[in-house]
Amino acid sequence: MKKPSKFNRLLRTINGPFSLGRTPVFWLCLALVVGYLFAYPKIATRYDVINLTYFISWTFVAMGLSLIWGCGNILSFGQMAFVGIGGYAYGVIAINTIGATGNTVLALVGGVVIPFLVAALLGYFVFYGRVSGVYVSIMTLVFTLVLETFMEQTGGSQWRIGKAVLGGYNGMTNIPPITFGTPGASTALKGASLYYFAMILMVVIYLFLRFLVNSRYGVGLIATGSNPERTEVLGYDTRLIQLIAFAIAGGLAGLTGVLYVAWGHYITPSTMGLTNASLPVIWVAVGGRKSVLGSIIFAILLQYFTQFLAVTGSEYALIVLGALLLMIVMYMPEGVLPPIFRWLGGLGSKKNKSVVAGAEPRGGANA
What is the number of other CB atoms lying within 10 angstroms of the CB of residue 94? Answer: 28
Task: Walk along the chain (367 residues) and give the pLDDT tens digit of each residue.
Answer: 566 777 888 888 898 888 888 889 899 999 999 999 999 999 999 999 999 999 999 999 999 999 999 999 999 999 999 999 999 999 999 999 998 898 999 999 999 999 999 999 999 999 999 888 889 999 999 999 999 999 999 988 889 999 999 999 999 999 999 999 888 788 999 999 999 999 999 999 999 999 999 999 999 999 999 999 999 998 889 999 999 999 999 999 999 999 999 999 999 998 888 878 989 999 999 998 889 999 999 999 999 988 888 777 666 777 877 788 788 878 888 888 888 877 776 655 544 444 334 434 444 556 6
Tell me what pLDDT residue 312 has. Answer: 72
CA 57-134-237 angle, 5° bins: 80
Q: Answer for the pair 292, 59: CB distance below 8 angstroms, yes or no.
A: no
Q: 105-127 and 79-101 helices cross at what angle (nearest 10)?
A: 150
CA distance readout (Å), 136 to 78, 126, 141, 246, 304: 10, 7, 9, 11, 30
Tell me what pLDDT residue 23 has. Answer: 87
Bridge partners (DSSP) listed for residue 188:
179
Tell me what pLDDT residue 354 has. Answer: 42
Q: Answer for the pair 168, 152: CB distance below 8 angstroms, yes or no.
A: yes
